[in-house]
């Protein structure tokens, strides 16, 4: 009896062989395991599991058998079927036998394939558990295309057998399908999870004379007959024992949780040109200028290469408030959040435990032991208090989460024929909220819409170099994608925060529902910080365009402009906004009385004189709160009016230069935080003084 197992492989000769299996299945034999069982059963028919200290090899074998049984018991259908138990026991037994030979089959076997077998003519009744069995292996014909050879080498099949007993139902051809993951995933390429194969079953042997072995429970002996001239692809013939199974589409669900995508960059892109950077887009009409100056795009980038049917679950949260209350609880030294308390306990306890073992148990230093037990008590008390308040903290977490809306999207990719090219098509599907769908971008390619239906849109990509569509085989291995959310209004959407996760195996085959046991989803990852844009558009806007019939008093001009500026910006709980307004007066140097007529040949120069700068002031942005008689509009108008009357007009009503202008610099601050930086600054607002009626 050897210590290590020596497994006897199946033989092609017509000799008897012991096979380890419970009826009615047949598999390989293990003579040494049988010998150990004889000795163990004779010595102790009923006993405890082997002691690893006394019989390590026997204990390993017992553990291996236990693992094989446990793992095979969890074999399940990949797709939801009407009868989930049909053939399931055969599949489990087939995997169990492979596991008994090599436990790594739990990871190398990707999927078990079954075909129903109909035995129409047989002398063996359906209840004959010892009927002969046909033994063979699924095979595929070698492809003519050399490029397909590597793909063929990326998978293999196990052997298979089926009983010749004549049964109405319940006979299956069951075999395993394995893929070479290392070959598939090399060079950073995506893993295939769908294989379409023209399949044949090559029968090459007959197992017969199957009978129990006297005195050895659970073992069967059998004889084997090999076909001398089996059918194959190389020799012509009737191919009666090379059975065509047809074209088979085999899905391979990846049985591992996917790693989350890597979020690498998030940026904002203003719609119009900014004083520093920004778009070069020009806007002509005054109404367009005002609206477009408030718009910005949110762009986020993620990197991920996985399986072909992995889906990216993208999400975006808008108007995320600073979570000061929860941050304070987490950083509170006296009453920490439960998570913080648990982390602190886990970090400090190992050192405390060492001191307790060294000084308390051995009683070598009572002072150190007392400090250790005191520290432990302090940690335990903090953790217990945090645990007690955890329900309250969870309520705070839930409340904070609901304060900002969150929208979810699913991005998936597929192949479509576009301009005679098998092109990459990426689809984005919303969550039913009817929120805008993001556009997908790939560096070096122009995004083109492919189709849109309901809450889903698809894109393909055109090369900027040769104007050809991006092929599926090339594009599927590009790791970087960008999602672009367009035309956020800064007065409505002040910040954005993107996240992403990966969902695996949900859509392996069309019109097939994947068993939830095979659907895996990674944790959601988000950028470290919320992105808050700061818009500073370089556009000049004439505020007189918002007053229908000038001239008018200054308060009317300001009121009409501010009402138009904050139009549709009101939201629940967001009626008041903090703004700051600066005003200045400018005129052309040619209009100065100090210059003579000869100066007309000189270039015109503008002189600008500051008038006022308000402090950040909270105002109501409703039409009533911005009316000509409102406190803020009245205060600003009166200050400017008095300045013009005393500094420019004085006692000469017609002394205003024709080039005179009032310039306004309007800053709007965040409604979500106390930030000292404005989210929007409009510094090029002007009003020609010739349209203003300055009150006496």
Encode pLDDT of 423-479 as tens digits: 999 999 999 988 999 999 999 999 999 999 989 999 999 999 999 999 998 998 888
Q: Is the pLDDT of residue 150 over 80?
A: no
Q: Which among 53, 62, 11, 68 has a CA at the least distance from the CA of 33?
A: 62
E-only strand ranges, 431-495: 439-441, 445-453, 456-463, 480-489
Q: Return the C-alpha torsion angle 316, 319, 321, 326, nearest 10.
A: -20
Collect all residues with Cβ–Cβ distance below 8 Å to 553 and sequence separation of at least 6: 628, 637, 692, 693, 694, 695
pLDDT tier at 170, thresholds 50, 70, 90: confident
Q: How would residue 519 be classed by pLDDT, with cut points 50, 70 and 90?
A: very high
Q: Are 662 and 522 in contact (CB under 8 A)?
A: no
Mean pLDDT of 649-667: 82
Q: What is the DSSP letter of 478?
A: -
Lowest mean pLDDT: which of 280-284, 295-299, 440-444? 280-284
Interval 100-124 mean pLDDT:
88
Higher pLDDT, 267 or 61: 267
Name the percent of the chain lying above pLDDT 90.
38
Is the predicted pLDDT of residue 189 greater than 60, yes or no? no
Least confident of 80-89, 175-184, 664-673: 175-184
| C-beta of residue 476 within 8 angstroms of C-beta of residue 470 | no
The confidence score (pLDDT) of residue 284 equals 56
Task: Give the model's pLDDT for residue 10.
Answer: 29
Which pLDDT score, from 0 to 100, does residue 494 have? 92
Residue ranges of E strands in 506-592: 520-521, 525-526, 541-542, 552-553, 576-588
Query: Residues in the chain, how many?
Result: 696
| 301 Rama class: left (phi>0) / alpha (psi -120 to 50) / beta | beta
Q: What is the pLDDT of residue 307?
A: 75
């Amino acid at each position: 009896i050897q210590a290590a197992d020596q497994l006897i492989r199946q033989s092609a000769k017509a000799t008897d062989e012991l096979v380890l299996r419970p009826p009615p299945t047949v598999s390989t034999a293990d003579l040494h395991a049988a010998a150990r069982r004889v000795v163990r059963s004779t010595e102790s028919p009923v006993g405890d599991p082997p002691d690893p200290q006394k019989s390590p090899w026997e204990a390993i074998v017992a553990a291996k058998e236990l693992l094989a049984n446990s793992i095979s018991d969890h074999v399940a259908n990949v797709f939801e079927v009407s009868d989930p138990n049909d053939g399931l026991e055969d599949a489990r037994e087939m995997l169990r036998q492979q596991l008994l030979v090599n436990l790594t089959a739990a990871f190398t076997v990707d999927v078990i394939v079954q075909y129903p077998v109909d035995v129409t003519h047989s002398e063996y009744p359906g209840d004959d558990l010892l009927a002969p069995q046909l033994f063979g292996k699924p095979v595929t014909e070698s492809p003519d295309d050399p490029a397909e050879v590597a793909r063929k080498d990326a998978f293999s099949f196990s052997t298979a057998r089926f009983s010749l007993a004549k049964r109405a139902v319940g006979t299956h051809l069951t075999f395993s399908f394995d893929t070479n993951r290392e070959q598939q995933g090399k060079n950073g390429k995506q893993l295939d999870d769908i294989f379409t194969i023209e399949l044949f079953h090559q029968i090459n042997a007959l197992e017969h004379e199957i009978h129990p072995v006297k005195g050895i429970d659970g073992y069967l002996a059998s004889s084997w007959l090999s076909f001398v001239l089996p059918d194959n692809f190389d020799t012509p013939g009737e191919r009666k024992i090379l059975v065509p199974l047809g074209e088979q589409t085999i899905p391979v669900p990846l049985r591992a949780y996917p790693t989350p995508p890597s979020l690498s960059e998030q940026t904002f892109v203003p719609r119009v040109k900014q004083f520093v950077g920004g778009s070069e887009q020009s806007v002509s009409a005054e109404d367009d200028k005002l609206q477009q100056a408030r718009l910005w795009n949110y762009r986020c980038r993620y990197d991920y290469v996985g399986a072909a049917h992995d889906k990216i679950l993208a999400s975006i949260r808008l108007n995320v408030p600073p979570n000061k209350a929860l941050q304070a609880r987490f950083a509170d030294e006296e009453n920490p959040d439960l998570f913080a308390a648990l982390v602190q306990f886990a970090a400090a306890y190992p050192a405390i435990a060492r001191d307790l073992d060294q000084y308390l148990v051995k009683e070598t230093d009572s002072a150190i032991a007392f400090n250790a037990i005191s520290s432990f008590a302090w940690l335990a008390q903090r953790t217990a208090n945090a645990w007690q308040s955890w329900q309250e903290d969870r309520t705070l977490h839930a409340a904070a989460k609901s304060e900002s809306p969150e929208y979810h999207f699913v991005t998936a990719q597929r192949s479509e024929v576009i301009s005679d090219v098998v092109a990459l098509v990426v689809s984005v599907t919303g969550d039913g909220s009817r929120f805008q769908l993001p556009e997908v971008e790939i560096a070096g390619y122009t995004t083109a819409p492919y189709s849109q239906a309901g809450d889903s849109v698809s894109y393909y990509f055109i090369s900027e170099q040769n104007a050809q569509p991006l092929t599926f085989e090339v594009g599927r291995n590009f790791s970087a994608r960008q999602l672009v959310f367009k035309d956020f209004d800064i007065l409505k959407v002040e910040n954005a925060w993107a996240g992403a996760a990966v969902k695996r195996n949900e859509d392996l085959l069309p019109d097939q529902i994947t068993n939830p046991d095979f659907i895996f989803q990674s944790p959601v990852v988000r950028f470290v910080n919320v992105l808050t844009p700061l818009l500073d558009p370089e556009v000049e806007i004439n505020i007189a365009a918002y007053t229908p019939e000038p001239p008018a008093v200054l308060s009317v001009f300001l009121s009409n402009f501010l009402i138009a500026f904050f139009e549709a910006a009101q939201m629940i709980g967001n009626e008041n906004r903090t703004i700051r307004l600066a005003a200045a007066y400018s005129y052309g140097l040619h209009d100065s009385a100090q210059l003579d007529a000869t100066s007309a040949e000189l270039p015109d120069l503008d002189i600008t004189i500051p008038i006022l700068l308000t402090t950040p002031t909270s105002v109501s942005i409703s039409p009533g709160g911005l009316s000509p008689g409102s406190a803020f509009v009245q205060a600003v108008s009166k200050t400017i009016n008095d300045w013009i009357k005393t500094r420019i007009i004085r006692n000469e009503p017609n002394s205003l230069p024709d080039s005179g202008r009032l310039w306004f610099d309007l800053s709007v601050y965040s409604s979500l935080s106390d930030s000292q930086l404005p989210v929007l600054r409009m510094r090029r607002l002007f009003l020609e003084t010739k349209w203003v009626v300055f009150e006496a």
